Structure formats: C-alpha cells, structure tokens
C-alpha cells in the first residue's frame, strides 16, 4: 500500500463530500418513497426504497474506505434533502441529486488515480455504475411514467 494513499487528505475530503451526498440521497429517496406510498404509487415506492438501500451500501463502502485511509467520516450538515411536493418534482429533484453525486464520484475517481489508489478508484467506479443506472431509471420514468 502506497503511503501517499494512506495520507491523502484531499481524497478523504472528497470522499466525505460523496458520503454526504449518499446520506442525503438516502433521506430524500426514503421520504419520497413514503410520500408516494401514501398517495398509492406503490410500484415506484418500491423502486425508491431499493434505490435508498443501494445508497446505504454506497455510504457503507465510502465510510470503510475513509477509515482505511486514516480519515474520519464527516457529514456536511448544511446539505439538505430536496423533497418534492409531487411525483414529477420528486423525479426532477432525484435527478439533480443523482447528477451531483455522479460529479462527486467523477472528482473522487480522478483524485484516486492521482493518489495511485486503485482500490478506491474501483470502489468509486462501482458506485458510479449504480448512479448512472439510477439516473437512467429516473429519466425513463420522466419520459414514460409507469407509476
């Protein structure tokens, strides 16, 4: 293991930013799922609950990696969920949140490469693949609602 990898504060800060995005996404997806369930949209509710579980797994991976790199997981408490008042706005908000997390993943992958940290890069690439799938699902629902 490269010592540079173990002491990369910039990478840890970037991973903490990604962790914040993941935790906010969990909250946002679960809140939207709860609202949709109340409105009778059980099918899409189930999709959002699954997505929230994916985000929990992502957060767990990021926390473990931060700890491995001798960092401390820290959440930015100023970043809040963006809860939509209706299903269309929820999809828009979830899309925006997903795009922000994709950008955070991309930045972290670049830093992992620069830090000669292939393990972090691989973890982030797996998360990125899930994020892109989530965005594709959201876009599909926006074009062809199947609630």
Q: Which residue from 145, 137, 16, 23 is spatially nearest to 69, judged by alpha carbons? A: 16
Residue ranges making up the domain that contains 52: 8-74+82-143
Angle at 77 between CA 94 and CA 29, to 5 degrees: 25
Q: What is the tens place of the pLDDT at every residue in 12-32?
A: 999 999 999 999 999 999 999
- Other beta carbons less than 10 A from residue 92's beta carbon: 15
The 10s digit of each residue's pLDDT in 61-86 is 999 999 999 999 998 888 899 999 99
Q: What share of the chain is helix, strand, coil (3-state, %, to 5)?
A: 80, 0, 20
Domain assignment present for residue 26? The answer is yes
Q: What is the DSSP letter of 51?
A: H
In this predicted model, what pLDDT tens digit does every residue of 96-137 receive, in sequence order?
999 999 999 999 999 999 999 999 999 999 999 999 999 999
What CATH number did the domain enclosing 99 receive? 1.20.1260.10
Number of structural domains in the chain: 1
Rounded CA-CA distance 80/73 in Å is 17
Within a domain: residue 2? no
HSE, side-chain direction, 13 A CA sphere, residue 18: 34
Burial class (CB in 10 A: 0-12, 13-18, 19+), 3: exposed
Residue 3 falls inside a structural domain: no
Does residue 134 fall inside a structural domain?
Answer: yes
**Residue reference for tokens 């940290």:** 117
Give the pTM: 0.90
């Amino acid at each position: 293991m490269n010592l540079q990898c173990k002491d990369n504060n910039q990478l840890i800060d970037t991973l903490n930013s990604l962790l914040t995005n993941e935790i906010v996404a969990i909250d946002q997806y679960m809140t939207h799922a709860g609202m949709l369930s109340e409105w009778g949209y059980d099918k899409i509710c189930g999709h959002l609950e699954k997505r929230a579980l994916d985000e929990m797994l992502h957060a767990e991976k990021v926390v473990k990696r931060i700890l491995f790199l001798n960092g401390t997981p820290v959440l930015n408490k100023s970043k809040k969920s963006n809860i939509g008042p209706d299903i269309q706005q929820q999809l828009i908000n979830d899309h925006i949140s997903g795009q922000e997390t994709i950008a955070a993943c991309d930045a972290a992958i670049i830093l992992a490469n620069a830090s000669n940290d292939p393990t972090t890069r691989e973890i982030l690439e797996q998360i990125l693949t899930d994020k892109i799938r989530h965005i594709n699902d959201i876009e599909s629902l926006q074009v062809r609602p199947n609630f």
